[in-house]
A and B are shown apart, each in its own frame.
Chain A
Amino acid sequence: MKVKNLLLNIAPLIGLLILIAGYFVIGRINDINVAYGLKTIVNQSVVVAVVATGAVFIYTLGAFDISLGASTAVSALMAGIVYLKTESVGLMFLTAVCVAVLVSLLNSVLAGVFHLPVFVTTIAMLSVLNALALLLLNLGGTGSEIKVPQAAVKSLDTLWFKLLVLGAYFLFCFFLFDFTPIGRRQKFLGGNPLCAKLTGISLNRYSVIAFVICGLGVGLGAFLSIVYAPTLTRNTASSVGMDVIIAIVFGGMPVSGGARSRIYAAVIGAFSMSFLSQIMVMLNLNSGVGQMVKAAIFLLVVFIAAGERKMKTLPR
């Protein structure tokens, strides 16, 4: 049983290693430049990994934020406008982080004040943010784009910088999640909010903390999005929201949150998805087939996770 539990715990990591091995093997067979592909994979993964790592704090509570992609886009657009006004990369960075944290804070405060499920407030926020993104494109740009000069961020557009940002944020979250009362209490809240309340743990307080941490990740993600693609349009970070959800589940995070939540799920999931996508490109599978393969794997992961849960709750 211990071996089985261990295998279930490390299954997402094993999955990632298999995908990495598959990527190199298929690359070698098809004589593809795997080094260039790796750069693409990091660029694809890093924004999702950063945003998803923060989102783990929200998922751990058993909550669900659907507005993360839109929040990333708005933060990036605001930051882009600030750069165009000030030509300061530092202020652009600060703006991205502050806007994202504020949006996140607003989500959690609204949920707390109106006693609504976070999911509901984030649906409303998604609409507001989408409208705001269009407004920002009109106000600060040409109506269709906001163009931060490539030269301003070129020195940051390196794999090492991106991996450094991801690594630093991941370590920060890892510390909070596994080595401070914050993470412990959030897992407890996700497991049983009523019991947590009767153990002196405030749902409102820890929701706000989770959203602030997540907001920080969204802000970093927004900044990295600008660094990778400085021309900001309606499509900036458009797929991040859904990718974050898929990455977290891929990484072995239980959708119900609680004690089995793992901070590394986001990073493993994000990179697994990117390797999978890249493998499908190498196999010349069109995007429709690729999406179906992803959906099938998504369902498989949830099925296995649910099966494990059922097994553990058998009566005695």
Chain B
Amino acid sequence: MGEMKQARPTVLEVHHMIKTYGSTKALRDVSLSIREGEVRGLIGENGSGKSTVASIIAGMQKADSGSMTYRGKEWNPKTMIDALEHGIGMIVQESGTVPGISVAENIFLADVDRFRKGPVMNRRKMMEEARRILDDIGAEDLRAEMLTGALDIQSRKLIEIARVMRQDPQILVVDETTTALSHRGREIIYRIMRKMREEGKSVFFISHDMEEIMKECDALTVLRDGEIIRTFDRDEFEEEEIKRCMIGRELKGDYYRSDDDSQFDPEVVLEARHVTVPGGEPLRDFSIQLHKGEILGIGGLSQCGMHTLGKVLFGAIKPVDGSALIRGEQVKNEADAMKKNVGYVSKDRDSESLVLQAPIGDNIAAGGLDRFALGHILVTPGAEKAYVNAQIESLEVKCQSRKQYVSALSGGNKQKVVFGKWIGRGSEILILDCPTRGIDIGVKQAMYQLMAAMKREGKSILIISEEMAELIGMADRIAVLKEGRLEKVFRREEHPQEADLIRYMI
């Protein structure tokens, strides 16, 4: 690695970059560089500025001041398309596909005219070309003619990757993309990054997953509050030190639950009884029970049916057979589940759990109008303010005020708002689908401790997760699903290892 550092020239440099959003200083005098053939990790808490610097490099927005050089020349891309045409591409956090058109049309989104001869579009050629690109990145099961809107998040993300990779970028920015991907999807990204390294190209890799970032990167730059704290070379990687740099202090106290006790009340509060749901993420005659005061973990591969289970139990999906029961009563719909004190945190936070173009206050209050409105009719500003501010304070949401729009918050703070929506109304049962997806370790720890505290209060949590360490660290029992069926249930006292879970998932 040291040899590489000396031999390979610097390809891109950022000098003294500053960026502000209103009163928020997103970047404060950031300078960094990347060499040819280097995979550089960018890591930091939500809101640390890593996505901001990456998006400026990739032409998504402009810095307030500072400069960049790319291959020795001044670099100042006008747009992301301009940047990509000159060799710097970015796969963004948010979904960037158009739902109403085919996979192939999304891949060639701004460039479909290349398949046009006069007024005639050569669709066959476009499909062939798209198929070749999808095969190249390892997404062979995605068909070029599929309608994008019918695909899941992972497939849509793979389309974005294909769109960027077809332009053969010299520098690729991967911005928290892996959080939306399953094991297979992540492997595709890793393969692309390794190939680029071998070809002397460079990658900025942004992720909250310490394990993958330490495994895949040659160097790691830690940002905090818009400043670069330290850059680690690979031989300096040390997890605790990186974490300390990220959050500016030692990570004290327990991360997951510290107890080894899987005791809970025998009362069944939530139940899936012989549930069958057809489709791409099916459930087949699936039964499971969640008890009072229990944290029940649900794990499996991405398409195993676990995300469907969460929605079935909340009444958002009606099973074709079987039933979802809350304290023995069948759940009719989402409103009914809420009346029965159940809350649901979706895996797809931005699309399903939040109104991004609305204030924090509206998002938190929406779940609790029946709690603080006088006689369920009158919403007084005072009652609403008190209700919302109580959640903001107890969950320590970092924001200017309750009137700030959710779209301006970092991922971790967005998730706190979602939690506030459900905890504020006093939910006794929480269904959490990938609750720590795309969240930094500081907020993760706070979420885990919150779950542990809720368990101690006798509340019940069903946590669906693709992170096995999270399930092992938090759950009283872990149910492993495979192709819509229950494969195995582990109890906490058995101390299952990740390998044990994987054996039943695959």
Is A bound to B? yes
Q: Complex: how many Å from CA A194 to CA B355?
A: 9
* Interface segment out of the listed A26-34, A185-193, A228-236, A277-285: A185-193
A258 in contact with B358 (CB, 8 Å): yes
Chain A residues near B355 (CB-CB < 8 A) = 188, 191-192, 195-196, 258-259
B363-386 toward A: CB 8 Å interface, digit per residue (1/0)?
Answer: 001110110010011111000000
B178 close to A (CB within 8 Å): no
Q: Complex: how many Å from CA A302 to CA B314?
A: 39
Chain B residues near A1 (CB-CB < 8 A) = 22-23
CB distance from B48 to the nearest CB of A (A): 10
A291-316 CB contacts (< 8 Å) to partner B: 309, 312-316
B33 close to A (CB within 8 Å): no
A198 close to B (CB within 8 Å): yes
Q: Complex: how many Å from CA A315 to CA B46?
A: 13
B370 in contact with A195 (CB, 8 Å): no
A149-194 CB contacts (< 8 Å) to partner B: 178-181, 184-185, 187-188, 191-192, 194
A39 close to B (CB within 8 Å): no
Chain A residues near B22 (CB-CB < 8 A) = 1
CB distance from A213 to the nearest CB of B (A): 15
Q: Among B61, B357, B367, which residue has its beta carbon within 8 angstroms of that of A315? A: B61
A241-281 toward B: CB 8 Å interface, digit per residue (1/0)?
Answer: 00000000000000000111000000000000000000000
B395-417 toward A: CB 8 Å interface, digit per residue (1/0)?
Answer: 00000000001011010000000
Chain B residues near A202 (CB-CB < 8 A) = 333, 335
Chain B residues near A258 (CB-CB < 8 A) = 355, 357-358
A200 close to B (CB within 8 Å): yes
Q: Complex: how many Å from CA A201 to CA B358?
A: 16
Chain B residue with Cβ nearest A189:
B355
A199 close to B (CB within 8 Å): yes
CB distance from A181 to the nearest CB of B (A): 4
Chain B residues near A201 (CB-CB < 8 A) = 335, 366
A316 in contact with B21 (CB, 8 Å): yes
Chain A residue with Cβ nearest B334:
A200
Chain B residues near A197 (CB-CB < 8 A) = 316, 334
Chain B residue with Cβ nearest A190:
B355
A selection of 6 A-B contacts at a CB cut-off of 8 Å is A179-B378, A184-B362, A191-B356, A191-B358, A195-B354, A196-B355
Q: Among B23, B26, B369, which residue has its beta carbon within 8 angstroms of that of A316? A: B26
A185 in contact with B366 (CB, 8 Å): yes
B407 in contact with A313 (CB, 8 Å): yes
Chain B residues near A314 (CB-CB < 8 A) = 21, 61
B505 close to A (CB within 8 Å): no
B378 in contact with A180 (CB, 8 Å): yes
Chain A residues near B358 (CB-CB < 8 A) = 187-188, 191, 258-259
Q: Complex: how many Å from CA A180 to CA B381?
A: 11
Q: Complex: how many Å from CA A111 to CA B107?
A: 34
B376 in contact with A199 (CB, 8 Å): no
Decide: A198 near B353, CB < 8 A? Known: A179-B378, A185-B366: yes
Q: Complex: how many Å from CA A260 to CA B403?
A: 12
CB distance from B477 to the nearest CB of A (A): 26
Among A185, A198, A200, A258: residue with most chain B CB under 10 A? A200
Contacts A195-B353, A258-B357 known; 5 new A-B pairs at CB < 8 A: A191-B356, A191-B357, A197-B316, A315-B51, A316-B47
Decide: A316 near B408, CB < 8 A? Known: A181-B376, A191-B355, A198-B314: yes
Residue count of chain B within 8 Å CB distance of chain A: 48
Question: Nearest 7 A-B pairs (CB), nearest first?
Answer: A191-B355, A259-B358, A200-B335, A1-B22, A181-B369, A200-B338, A192-B355
Q: Complex: how many Å from CA A123 to CA B344?
A: 37
Q: Among B335, B356, B380, which residue has its beta carbon within 8 angstroms of that of A192? A: B356
Chain B residue with Cβ nearest A175:
B378
B446 close to A (CB within 8 Å): no
Decide: A185 near B369, CB < 8 A? Known: A179-B380, A192-B354, A316-B51: yes
Chain A residues near B500 (CB-CB < 8 A) = none
B69-104 toward A: CB 8 Å interface, digit per residue (1/0)?
Answer: 000000000000000000000001110000000000
Decide: A315 near B23, CB < 8 A? Known: A181-B377, A195-B352, A198-B352: no
CB distance from A98 to the nearest CB of B (A): 25
A259 in contact with B362 (CB, 8 Å): yes
B365 in contact with A184 (CB, 8 Å): yes
CB distance from A1 to the nearest CB of B (A): 4
Q: Complex: how many Å from CA A183 to CA B246?
A: 42
Among A188, A309, A312, A316: residue with most chain B CB under 10 A? A316
B52 in contact with A316 (CB, 8 Å): yes
B417-452 CB contacts (< 8 Å) to partner A: 421
B365 in contact with A315 (CB, 8 Å): no
Q: Complex: how many Å from CA A200 to CA B332?
A: 11
B354 in contact with A312 (CB, 8 Å): no
Chain B residue with Cβ nearest A258:
B357
Q: Complex: how many Å from CA A194 to CA B93?
A: 20
Q: Among A187, A198, A313, which residue has its beta carbon within 8 angstroms of that of B362? A: A187
B214 close to A (CB within 8 Å): no
Q: Complex: how many Å from CA A159 to CA B421?
A: 47
B324-371 CB contacts (< 8 Å) to partner A: 333-335, 337-338, 344, 346, 351-359, 362, 365-367, 369-370
CB distance from B388 to the nearest CB of A (A): 12
CB distance from B47 to the nearest CB of A (A): 7
Decide: A312 near B369, CB < 8 A? Known: A1-B22, A1-B23: no
Among A187, A201, A309, A315: residue with most chain B CB under 10 A? A315
Q: Complex: how many Å from CA A309 to CA B60?
A: 16
Chain A residues near B359 (CB-CB < 8 A) = 259
A208-244 CB contacts (< 8 Å) to partner B: none
Decide: A200 near B337, CB < 8 A? Known: A192-B354, A315-B61: yes
B389 close to A (CB within 8 Å): no
CB distance from B36 to the nearest CB of A (A): 27
CB distance from B301 to the nearest CB of A (A): 24
Chain B residues near A195 (CB-CB < 8 A) = 351-355
Q: Complex: how many Å from CA A179 to CA B365?
A: 13
CB distance from B246 to the nearest CB of A (A): 17
B366 in contact with A199 (CB, 8 Å): yes
B170 close to A (CB within 8 Å): no
Chain A residue with Cβ nearest B26:
A316
B55 close to A (CB within 8 Å): yes
Q: Complex: how many Å from CA A314 to CA B406?
A: 12
A13-72 CB contacts (< 8 Å) to partner B: none
Chain A residues near B421 (CB-CB < 8 A) = 199
B405 in contact with A312 (CB, 8 Å): yes
B377 in contact with A315 (CB, 8 Å): no
B366 in contact with A315 (CB, 8 Å): no
Chain A residues near B51 (CB-CB < 8 A) = 315-316
B141-164 CB contacts (< 8 Å) to partner A: none
B351 in contact with A194 (CB, 8 Å): yes
Q: Complex: how many Å from CA A184 to CA B376?
A: 12
Q: Complex: how many Å from CA A202 to CA B339?
A: 14
A181 in contact with B380 (CB, 8 Å): no
Chain B residues near A200 (CB-CB < 8 A) = 333-335, 337-338, 367
CB distance from A23 to the nearest CB of B (A): 35
Q: Complex: how many Å from CA A189 to CA B262?
A: 40
Q: Complex: how many Å from CA A195 to CA B359?
A: 14
CB distance from A99 to the nearest CB of B (A): 28
Chain B residues near A196 (CB-CB < 8 A) = 355, 366
